Structure 1
Amino acid sequence: MSKGTSSPKAMRNYRFRIYPSREQEQKLLDWIETCRKIFNTAIAQRKESWEKEKRSLSRREQQVWLKEAKKENEYFRQVHSQVAQEVLFRVERAFAAFFRRVKNGETPGYPRFKGRGRYKSLTFTQFGEGKGASFQDGKLKLSKIGLVKIKLHRQIPSTVKTVIIKRDAVGRWWAVFAVEIELSQQQTHAGPAIGLDAGLEKFAALSDDSVIENPRHLRKTEERLKRAQRELSRKEKGSRNRERARRKLAKLHAKVRSQRMDFLHKQSRKLVNTYSLIAVEELNIKGMVKNHHLAKSISDAGWGEFISMLEYKAGEAGTKLVKVNPSGTSQECSRCGMTVPKELSERVHCCPYCGLTLDRDVNAARNILKRALALEAA
């Protein structure tokens, strides 16, 4: 590498389970509630500023307000300064996204106030000795909270930039470390190229005739989810029985998500470690889920998350990920290139021109690979 050039970098998140004591947990919950109030107040201030003065309030102005508010509000003072200030950055990002959508002609969606239970995380923006968060004696040290037990089940490969403390729907606590990684440090490998066609009957068909079966985690748990939802709807609002029913339903949803994420992580890692080039279709997931007949199956498959995983893992593994136009990949013959129209229910590709007969999705995967190689050669 020539002098003066820097390696490409990317941010990666590493999540670990933490086990705060009862006292620590209560303090974290109090902080989350305080941050929710800061967030809602900041939203209200910006809304009022625009309605009365037709002026957008800046984050710096709100930081001055927060500094003064701490002098009068004891609860604001109890929250670590990094955590409280980061709330204003969230508000700024929410409004920046709103204005971007307005500019692009999309449905804007004005930033919303957070109700109780809708604000779920705290962010320490600096990590290291003498800062808001750090490691000490094999535990996670959080300023004003103390030493929190953490299960470090894998090594963090680089310097931690920030850490987010969050509580999930079933009451478990997690620490999510944001780490900056230099992509050039990752070793490349010389493997074959592969085309991948995502589907519903099969999770994916590969151009080498192999397939990845669809585990259908949500479909397999659907009856249990329906029963749990019915139980929840019958409970009196505000009662302990309702809270127990809510937790039961939340645990089922959390289990489905954990199963899906485990499957997607393992499959994406296997692919990027095996192949030097992976060709996929550039899918419009948002548009596809508007089909109410297929929306649940598409969401259950998790294609969007899978492609995202392939993207960042490919960058680390030295694998090329190439996205191609999906139009006609199932209708075109991968051997002779002729168009062979077929209904969605037809699962076998039979070409009347060259005689090729094979699985419809494998044929599409081969076409996807051909298009990707053509793009790379151009």
Structure 2
Amino acid sequence: MNRNCLKIRLYPNRAQEHALEATLETCRRVYNSLVNDRKYQFETAQVSVGRYDQQAYLPAWKKSHPELKSVYSQVLQDVVHRVDLAFKAFFDRVKKGETPGFPRLKGEGQYDSITFTQNDSFKVGDSTIRLAKIGQMKAKLHRQPWGELKTCTLRRINNKWFACLCQEVEPELLPPSTEAVGIDMGLKTFAALSNGEFIDNPRFFRKDEKALAKAQRKLAKQKRGSKARKKARKVVSRVHERIRNRRHDFCHQNARRVVNRFGVIAVEKLSVRNMLGNHCLAKSICDAAWSQFRIVLTSKAENAGREILAVNPAYTSQDCSGCGYRPDGREGRTKKKLSDRWHLCPMCGLSLDRDTNAAVNILALGQQSLTSVEA
């Protein structure tokens, strides 16, 4: 069984929207109270409070704070769970020797989602969704859920409301394919395939960079706390949302094409976080969204029964895919620079695009690892 998420647009009426806003604000205050409680307990009594300890606070808090009764109990328990996850991540970073940031309090408007963790607390209809303590609201379902529903997360994005339905589904296996492909990620082109094909780099952020800068300049000129500033902030947020939506659609569309066509897919195991240390390329790397594409590609491949292989990309751009010759800088073996976009092997004479050569090497490494595992 696999889990996937179905995202649908919600259209609450005015009363329901007020109820949702009040629920978010109540959950934000509960979240901050739980964070402060953990900090206070540790500083005063050196006691580490756990998830179930704090979950036991809720019945007493409901008696002293009647507004908590308007929030479904499972939603409040999920707030406790989120605090617990934040502290676990904090302590994990401490153990790894990193410089962790202590879990922060949520400011006004920063808590933007709630989760119903039991499927009896929400019900999905043909064009509606019913939520406990909220009521039935209109929804735009591009398709009905086809698996067993597990959770429902409501999220506010730019004053729009969405429901993310998590469901367990059976894998949708595709017909077998004997084709195999290696994929080399890049910046000049988004991806080069080992068969010589390329996926163009759309550069969504670069295209909207001027519009974003203009919106941010207008925001900076507005007085803090004014209505004009809130309006300008929505414009900035909308530009970011448009970029994010286009990038999301691009990754899903191209990942689906690759999965439908190829039975074995070899990709690079890139450490994108380390690559962002190059300030000259950091913006372009973030705009390319390599990690997002790989996550989507892996998910679709596993659900379709395809073989997805992640290989170490070391020397894949330097080695010749024809004879294996590697320029190591010694005895006249000049390494290829990043500006060298064409591969011309001095040993076997192989001539092809640099990224295509790397993709062929990635495919060879993937097939090699697959053979060793089967053996």
TM-score range, shorter chain: over 0.9
Aligned match for 1:43, one of 19, 35, 53 = 35
Supply the distance in 2 between the matched residues of 1:14 and 1:292 (Cα, whole angstroms).
36
- Look up the match of 2:133: 144
Supply the distance in 2 between the matched residues of 1:159 and 1:145 (Cα, whole angstroms).
22
Aligned match for 1:159, one of 148, 151, 159 = 148
Aligned match for 2:17, one of 25, 37, 51 = 25
Aligned 1:161-200 pairs, distance under 5 A: 161-168=150-157, 170-183=158-171, 186-200=173-187
Which amino acid in 1 is paired with 2:88?
A
Aligned match for 1:345, one of 314, 327, 339 = 339
Supply the distance in 2 between the matched residues of 1:373 and 1:109 (Cα, whole angstroms).
42
* Alpha-carbon distance, 1:109 to partner: 2.0
Which amino acid in 1 is paired with 2:210?
E
1:365 maps onto 2:359 in alignment: yes
Supply the distance in 1 between the matched residues of 2:56 and 2:266 (Cα, whole angstroms).
50
User: Does the 8 A contact of 1:188 with 1:319 survive in 2?
Assistant: no
- Look up the match of 2:234: 247
Which amino acid in 2 is paired with 1:51?
E
Which deviations, in whole Å up to 9, do the C-alpha atoms of 1:266-311 show, x marking residues without a partner?
0001111110011111100111112111111011110010000011
User: Does the 8 A contact of 1:95 with 1:111 survive in 2?
Assistant: yes
Supply the distance in 2 between the matched residues of 1:12 and 1:109 (Cα, whole angstroms).
31
User: Does the 8 A contact of 1:163 with 1:175 survive in 2?
Assistant: yes
* Alpha-carbon distance, 1:186 to partner: 2.8
Aligned 1:197-236 pairs, distance under 5 A: 197-236=184-223
Which amino acid in 2 is paired with 1:66?
L
- Look up the match of 1:107: 99
Which amino acid in 1 is paired with 2:345?
C
Supply the distance in 2 between the matched residues of 1:250 and 1:70 (Cα, whole angstroms).
35
Matched position secondary structure for 2:316: coil
- Look up the match of 2:4: 12
Aligned 1:302-321 pairs, distance under 5 A: 302-321=289-308
* Alpha-carbon distance, 1:94 to partner: 1.0
Aligned 1:291-330 pairs, distance under 5 A: 291-330=278-317
Which deviations, in whole Å up to 9, do the C-alpha atoms of 1:37-61 show, x marking residues without a partner?
0000001111111111111112222
- Look up the match of 1:134: 123
> Where does the alignment leave 5 or more consecutive residues of structure 1 unmatched?
1-8
1:325–1:136: structure 2 CA closer, same or farther, 3 Å change rule?
Answer: closer
* Root mean square deviation, CA, Å: 1.1
Which deviations, in whole Å up to 9, do the C-alpha atoms of 1:225-275 show, x marking residues without a partner?
111111111111111111111111111111011111000000001111110
- Look up the match of 2:332: none
TM-score (norm 1): 0.94
Which amino acid in 2 is paired with 1:204?
A
Supply the distance in 2 between the matched residues of 1:195 and 1:88 (Cα, whole angstroms).
44
* Alpha-carbon distance, 1:137 to partner: 5.8
> Where does the alignment leave 5 or more consecutive residues of structure 2 unmatched?
328-334
Give the number of equivalent residue pairs. 365
Which amino acid in 1 is paired with 2:115?
T
User: Does the 8 A contact of 1:279 with 1:368 survive in 2?
Assistant: yes
- Look up the match of 1:267: 254
Supply the distance in 2 between the matched residues of 1:328 and 1:213 (Cα, whole angstroms).
23
User: Does the 8 A contact of 2:127 with 2:140 survive in 1?
Assistant: no
Matched position secondary structure for 2:56: helix
Supply the distance in 2 between the matched residues of 1:255 and 1:355 (Cα, whole angstroms).
46
- Look up the match of 2:270: 283
1:374 maps onto 2:368 in alignment: yes
Matched position secondary structure for 2:57: helix
User: Does the 8 A contact of 1:136 with 1:147 survive in 2?
Assistant: no
TM-score (norm 2): 0.95
Which amino acid in 1 is paired with 2:87?
F
Aligned 1:58-97 pairs, distance under 5 A: 58-97=50-89
* Alpha-carbon distance, 1:136 to partner: 4.0
Matched position secondary structure for 1:250: helix
Matched position secondary structure for 1:353: coil
Percent identity, aligned pairs only? 44
Supply the distance in 1 between the matched residues of 2:127 and 2:213 (Cα, whole angstroms).
42
